Amino acid sequence: MESWKGVCHMSQTEGLRFTREHEWIRRENGRFAVGISDYAQKSLGDIVFVELPEVGAELEAGDVLGTVESVKTVSDVYTPFAGRVVEVGTGLEDDPAKVNSDPYGSAIAVLEPTGEADFSALMDEAGDRKFCEEGE
C-alpha cells in the first residue's frame, strides 16, 4: 500500500474519520483506507494474526473486511461503505504487530466505493474521542 505510506505521520489522526466499531477511514483520491483505531488495538492487546480480504472482493456497507486476532480475542473489521477492495495491508500477514505499533499507518485494505460513501457522516476525531470516553 505504497500510496498510503507516510500519510499518517503528519498527525496520527489528521483527516481521519471513525466508526462506532472503532475503525478509522482515510479518504484519498476517491478511495478509502480502512484500519483499526488506536483505541481498538489497545483494547485488543498484542495482535498475533490479521486476515486480509481478497483484492477485487466486492463488499456491502457493514460487511466484514478482515479479522484481527490478538492474544485476548478475535475481532472483525467492518467496511463502512460498499466498495471493491483495490489494495490490502502490505506486510500485515507477516508482521501483524504493525497494527499495534502503527495503527494509523497499517490499513487493513483500501476500498474503491461502488455506491454512496458519505465520509462526512462518520465521526471526526473529537467525536471518536468522546465516544471512547463514554466507554462504548
Contacts of 68 (CB under 8 A, 6+ apart): 36, 40, 44, 47, 49, 50, 51, 74, 75, 76, 77, 96, 99, 108
Does 33 reside within a domain? yes
Does 26 reside within a domain? yes
Does 101 reside within a domain? yes
Does 37 reside within a domain? yes
Length of the chain: 136
Give me the domain span that covers residue 88.
Answer: 14-115
pLDDT value of position 11: 52
Does 44 reside within a domain? yes
pLDDT value of position 52: 95
pLDDT value of position 2: 37
pLDDT tens, residue order, the chain (136 aa)? 333 333 333 356 778 989 888 899 998 888 999 999 888 898 899 999 999 999 999 999 999 999 999 998 999 999 998 999 999 998 898 999 999 999 988 999 999 998 777 767 787 777 777 777 776 5
* CATH number of the domain where residue 22 is located: 2.40.50.100
- The count of structural domains within the chain is 1
- The amino acid at residue 63 is D
Q: Distance from CA of residue 112 to its chain's centroid? A: 14
Does 1 reside within a domain? no
